[in-house]
Structure 1
């Protein structure tokens, strides 16, 4: 099972590990694309601070993020699973998982990123600020920059099992499973049962809890139908129908009655 996650806008700072070693990151097929983004981002943020803030879409209160980006090559690192914070990651709470569940997380979780493309939760990275919506002066739109290398690397990373796609729209657009991989991909929408509306906060929190439940249980569904069964066994209310045509992802609705 491969679980595709969005990053978080907020990130933990103060990594105590050794500086970034780009060659140590997972998915080495993304290395050249990562280096291109990293080089331009560091140069941008080491220059005109106001221009960097404008390019990155940062408010005056986030001015310090520019200096953080300028020092990415020498900053301390920590595992990506500790760097990413926010609602989904708080609910997932990787640090409190037992040893076996953490091993499953290391194998199955892939976090998408405007800077790194995608990383495993065990990859050591510094804290940074660079969303997928950024358009760098030299490289242009990061979403377009990542599409070609992702199309080359991600099908292999997907292996031959279930792909659980929990990414937000900006990150989902960077790589869309196709063909046989799409047929074993499931997307999840979390709905407030009485209104059948998506509410951002508990949508993210529920997705984090879903991943935690699967990791803790040791469930390894092989396909979307198996995922539906596993989630129902774990107590989730799931609505799902097979796609009308082969080679299309399944769309699952998880219904939640309480917002928390």
Structure 2
């Protein structure tokens, strides 16, 4: 099973790993695209004012440009420890047992505008780049990643894939046959609406269930069973869509 998480704009600082080496990352077929985007991002960082405009940064976020400038030289850490925020707080990898952390390293991946997708254990630096960004001379990131990202994610030896990425990151590389998750809130009158910001929390809780379970996820029914065991209310919408219901 591969669970593809969305990234986060917020990332932890520092790390103990050696500087970025694209050749060590999972999904090596993506190396050429990664290098092209990384090179453009570092070059852009040489112009802080333009970087702020292209990346949509405010005055208090200009340190993000420094992160990009040091992309090839700054220390790295496992991707699952690099990304922070609501989803990653709910996932709580720091509190996992050794056995569950091993499962997390094996089962989790993170979508990325810069790297396409990385596995939990891949060593990456802090950076700033979003799915909707357009780097100078490169057009959209979706155009850069297609079809390489989809091809890489489709070549998983029939592995079950649960895609928790948001729409912008799915657009970079759709995964044929992946199981998707929608988070809905249900009112007392039975009406339902899509959960926006806090859907990240519920997906983090779900991801934690998937890396701590001993059950094997083979299809949408077994996925629903594991998520329900984790205390979340579920509903199967189709063979590839699971709904998580909240009050």
TM-score bin (small chain): over 0.9
**What are the Cα deviations for residues 214-233 of structure 1, in whole angstroms up to 9, with x where unaligned?**
21122321111221232233
Q: Where does the alignment leave 5 or more consecutive residues of structure 2 unmatched?
A: none
Shift of 1:201: 3.2
Q: Check the 8 A contact 1:101/1:218 in 2, yes or no.
A: no
Q: Check the 8 A contact 1:55/1:136 in 2, yes or no.
A: yes
What residue in structure 2 maps to residue 239 of structure 1?
235
Shift of 1:140: 1.5
Instruction: List, as ranges, runs of 4+ consecutive aligned residues in structure 1 with deviation greater than 3 Å.
Output: none
* SS in structure 2 of the partner of residue 187 of structure 1: strand
Q: Check the 8 A contact 1:18/1:77 in 2, yes or no.
A: yes
Q: What is the alpha-carbon distance in structure 2 between the residues aligned to residue 155 and residue 85 of structure 1?
A: 27
Distance change (3 Å), C-alpha of 1:36 and 1:25 = same
What residue in structure 1 maps to residue 174 of structure 2?
176
User: In the TM superposition, what are the counterparts of 1:93-104 in structure 2 within 5 Å?
Assistant: 93-104=92-103
Q: Where does the alignment leave 5 or more consecutive residues of structure 1 unmatched?
A: 244-249
Q: What is the alpha-carbon distance in structure 1 between the residues aligned to residue 129 and residue 215 of structure 2?
A: 34
Aligned residues: 244
Q: Check the 8 A contact 1:191/1:253 in 2, yes or no.
A: yes
User: In the TM superposition, what are the counterparts of 1:33-52 in structure 2 within 5 Å?
Assistant: 33-46=33-46, 48-52=47-51
* SS in structure 2 of the partner of residue 254 of structure 1: strand
Q: What is the alpha-carbon distance in structure 2 between the residues aligned to residue 24 and residue 224 of structure 1?
A: 33
Shift of 1:15: 2.2
Shift of 1:144: 1.5
What residue in structure 2 maps to residue 88 of structure 1?
87
Shift of 1:152: 2.1
Q: What is the alpha-carbon distance in structure 2 between the residues aligned to residue 169 and residue 152 of structure 1?
A: 18
Q: What is the alpha-carbon distance in structure 1 between the residues aligned to residue 245 and residue 132 of structure 2?
A: 30
User: In the TM superposition, what are the counterparts of 1:1-260 in structure 2 within 5 Å?
Assistant: 1-46=1-46, 48-157=47-156, 159-178=157-176, 182=177, 185-194=178-187, 196-242=192-238, 250-257=240-247
* SS in structure 2 of the partner of residue 105 of structure 1: helix
TM-score (norm 1): 0.89
Q: Check the 8 A contact 1:162/1:224 in 2, yes or no.
A: no
